[in-house]
Structure 1
């Protein structure tokens, strides 16, 4: 076998090995059934100065929820910037049993008290899944104005 043929064979073998390695993992797993998924039906906020009341209603299989994460950002000058990314400055984490989520059929009511004082906040609520690859339920952003 000539050196050129040997080189061509080695290159072909390398290409086959690389191509075979790419035949595995393509994307995150998806739920076997839509009954396993949960999503936000509604989230409402109200103010009881200096705290914020949050009432949520989660539909779907709420037993798959690992935690509820409330993220808060002082809005300030970025409040009029809808394209600006949400950057959490304070996080509040709750277990489903703390909120009565499972016994309440997906409904909860809680209060958070920000440590960073502002007249306007951006707020986002996320229900995190227990299972890897199962999608989390992320709410839209809410603006909360403190009187």
Structure 2
């Protein structure tokens, strides 16, 4: 069976869930940015009114200084994407892997042949066990 098919059972659902959480993070940032757009527009209009008033009411030199200061405040606020922090990413991974069904996990193991592994571990020789136990007992008694 191909490597793509073997990893399909694990990666596709897991990556799909991670991708959905990443998109949700992006959308929440965009919604927040869009919500602030009305306020930013109102601030731009207010600054433009102040610039117009300065041009009408002040002498040329004073008006130029005030207009320059006000125009510096008129900068456009562009959208800045904030990457998720490590805590968020860890939560996404935990949630996404926890959402995998038992069938998906079992299928992934079965595809790579892990569930059909019938090897038995050999027992280790226990000849030294009494010596090790007595050594440990002595060390414990020395601690008291």
State the TM-score bracket (shorter-chain normalisation).
under 0.3
Which is helix-richer, 1 or 2? 2
The alignment's TM-score, normalised by the length of structure 1, stands at: 0.27
The alignment's TM-score, normalised by the length of structure 2, stands at: 0.27
Comparing both chains, which one has the higher relative contact order based on Cα–Cα distances under 8 Å and sequence gaps of 6 or more? 2
Which is strand-richer, 1 or 2? 1
